[in-house]
Every structure is written in structure tokens, then in C-alpha cells.
């Protein structure tokens, strides 16, 4: 399938996804479901066989991708685990706007291009580029020669509670995904990534960093991860020939809304002179 064909297919799927999520919101409101919790059985009734993965229907990486009806009602869906979901009010509670990266944090980064660089638009492709060119370790530790342990994308489950402003949220056996985790001398760094070559992604879903953060912090607190002293969370965004990194912290462990920027940087890729492209 051509790139144009793939784009049309994705766009069509996203349109159906928004339509079905709008129907779920309408159902919850018309039936006065409070709190507005729904499960995969309702999702299946509304979507029929159009979505093999019912969880995918409630995943929106940025607020711009939310259906118009949800944006107009200032709400978004969250996952509770075990096939349950909930509508939460206040989009700003679940999405964080990327901060501007100032000139002093922008640098040219010379690299030797790989044949696979830019060959796909996946999150894995963006992270592979950033890792292979030592951008990740330089951003974290200020030294591109460090060789950390690397843990590839994985899925796991975790049960925990957190507060969304004045509301207590209980997650039970919640499926948690991590794009990449690296480990070095007591530091565990979690990465979430997106390819954003159009540079039109202004914010991101906080849960993408918060959920894996809670999984690792809670396990470390319970003594299950001996030697881990700190857990760091980084959002990686590839924009054309630049890699932007944003490190965030959660000063209040039980409140994802406490998210704060620790530091950010942009690495502008320039191919090393005198080297073959491939």
C-alpha cells in the first residue's frame, strides 16, 4: 500500500473512532450515567465489529484528536482497567501543553545517517533514531558516550489510585504501555515518543507518562526494584529533522495534574560531512 493509501486508511479509521466516541458520550449523558463510567460491552454495542481492539477507541494522544463533541463539553476518556473507562471533565486535567524550547537549549547535532532512519513514521522509529545517535543519553546525563541498559517496548498491568483534582480515581489491573525504558546507575528513564513531522501536536495525554511512572515508582517503593534511586519521564517528539525532548516530574505522586517541566532541549540533526548517506 502506498503512503497516500495508508494515510487515507488511518484518516478514515480516526473519523469512525471520533464518531463512535461521540455516540458513547451521548449515551452516557442521555441516560444520566453518573459517574460516567462505561465498559467494553457498551463500546462493542456501539461500535459493532468495526474495532477489533475496543481499548483503541478511547485513546487520544493529543487533545486536538478528541472528537468535537468532547472538546465542546470539555471532557476526555480515561482507562480504569479491566475493560472499564470513564469520562472526566476538564481537558486541561488530562493534557499538557508542550512548553517552548528556548534558543539556549537548541543545538545542532551531527550524525551519521542510517539506511533505516526515516523509513517509517512509528514511535519506535523516532526512539531508535534518538537512541542510536546518543541523543537520549546526552539529554539525560550530558554525556553521549554512556551506554545504558535498554528495555524494549512492553506492556504490563498495575493497580493504583490517584487524584484528578477533587476526584479519586481507582485503576485496577490497568494495562500500561512503555515505548522505551533505559537504566543507568540507579536511574530509570521512561520514554514516550511521537512522530510529528507536521509540527501540529501542541499537547499530549499526561497518562502516557504518568501511568508507567506510577508503575515503576510504586514497585521501587515496595522494594521490588532494588537499586533504582530515581525514575525520570521524558516525552520525545520528532519534527522533520529535529528531535525535541521534554523531561517532566510529578511533585505530587498521586496527582498527574501536578506535572511540571524539568528541562527541554531540541537537537537539530545535521549529517556528518564526508560520509556516505547510506
Scored b (16 or more CB within 10 A) or e, 207-221 reads: bbbbbbbbbbbbbbe
Percent of the chain at pLDDT > 70 equals: 90
pLDDT for 189-200, tens place per residue? 999 999 999 999
Sequence-distant (6+) residues with CB within 8 A of 150 are 131, 180, 181, 182, 183
10 Å Cβ neighbour count for 122? 13
pLDDT for 182-231, tens place per residue? 999 999 999 999 999 999 999 999 999 999 999 999 999 999 999 999 99
Question: Which of residues 49, 64, 93 is at a domain's end?
Answer: 93
Question: Which of residues 93, 109, 127 is at a domain's end?
Answer: 93
Q: For residue 176, what are the domain limits?
A: 97-271
Q: Do 124 and 10 belong to one domain?
A: no
Q: Do 143 and 40 belong to one domain?
A: no
- Does 89 have pLDDT greater than 90? yes
- Does 7 have pLDDT greater than 90? no
Question: Which of residues 77, 93, 109 is at a domain's end?
Answer: 93
How high is the pLDDT of residue 114?
81
Q: Do 83 and 101 belong to one domain?
A: no
- Say which residue, 118 or 265, is predicted with more confidence: 265
Q: In total, how many domains does the chain have?
A: 2
Q: What is the DSSP string of 157-185?
A: EEEEEEEETTEEEEEEEEEEEESEEEEET
The answer to whether 233 and 212 are in contact (CB under 8 A) is: yes
Question: Among 127, 98, 242, which residue's Cα sits nearest to residue 192?
Answer: 127
Q: In the sheet that 37-39 helps form, which strands lie side by side, from edge to edge?
A: 37-39, 84-89, 75-81
- With respect to residue 278, please indicate whether it lies within any of the assigned structural domains: no
Sequence-distant (6+) residues with CB within 8 A of 112 are 271, 272, 275
Per-residue pLDDT band for 44 (boundaries 50, 70, 90) equals: confident
Q: Specify the pTM.
A: 0.91
Own/partner contacts of 13-17, CB < 8 Å, gap of 24 or more, are: 14/65, 16/50, 16/51, 17/51, 17/56, 17/57
Supply 147's cell numbers.
551506554
Residue whose C-alpha cell is 537512541: 131
- With respect to residue 245, please indicate whether it lies within any of the assigned structural domains: yes
Q: What is the DSSP string of 203-259?
A: EEETHHHHHHHHHHHHHHHTTSSTT--EEEEEEEEEETTEEEEEEEE-SSTT-GGG-
78 to each of 61, 72, 169, how far by Cα in Å? 12, 17, 10
Amino acid at each position: 500500500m502506498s503512503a497516500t493509501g495508508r494515510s487515507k486508511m488511518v484518516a478514515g479509521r480516526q473519523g469512525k473512532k471520533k464518531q463512535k466516541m461521540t455516540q458513547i458520550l451521548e449515551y452516557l449523558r442521555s441516560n444520566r450515567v453518573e459517574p460516567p463510567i462505561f465498559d467494553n460491552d457498551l463500546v462493542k454495542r456501539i461500535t459493532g465489529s468495526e474495532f477489533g481492539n475496543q481499548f483503541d477507541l478511547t485513546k487520544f494522544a493529543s487533545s486536538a484528536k478528541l472528537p468535537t463533541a468532547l472538546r465542546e463539553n470539555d471532557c476526555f476518556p480515561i482507562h480504569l482497567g479491566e475493560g472499564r473507562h470513564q469520562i472526566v471533565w476538564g481537558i486541561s486535567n488530562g493534557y499538557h501543553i508542550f512548553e517552548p524550547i528556548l534558543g539556549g537549549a537548541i543545538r545542532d547535532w551531527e550524525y551519521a545517517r542510517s539506511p533505516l532512519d526515516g523509513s517509517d513514521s512509528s514511535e519506535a522509529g523516532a526512539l531508535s533514531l534518538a537512541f542510536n545517535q546518543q541523543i537520549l543519553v546526552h539529554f539525560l546525563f550530558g554525556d553521549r558516550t554512556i551506554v545504558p541498559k535498554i528495555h524494549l517496548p512492553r506492556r504490563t498491568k498495575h493497580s493504583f489510585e490517584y487524584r484528578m483534582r477533587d476526584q479519586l480515581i481507582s485503576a485496577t489491573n490497568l494495562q500500561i504501555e512503555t515505548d522505551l525504558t533505559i537504566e543507568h546507575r540507579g536511574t530509570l528513564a521512561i520514554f514516550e515518543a511521537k512522530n510529528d513531522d507536521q509540527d501540529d501536536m501542541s499537547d499530549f495525554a499526561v497518562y502516557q507518562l504518568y501511568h508507567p511512572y506510577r508503575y515503576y515508582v510504586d514497585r521501587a517503593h515496595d522494594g521490588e526494584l532494588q537499586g533504582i534511586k530515581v525514575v525520570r519521564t521524558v516525552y520525545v517528539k520528532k519534527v522533520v529533522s529535529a528531535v525535541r525532548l521534554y523531561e517532566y516530574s510529578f511533585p505530587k505522586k498521586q496527582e498527574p495534574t501536578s506535572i511540571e517541566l524539568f528541562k527541554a532541549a531540541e537537537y537539530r540533526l545535521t549529517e556528518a560531512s564526508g560520509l556516505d548517506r547510506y
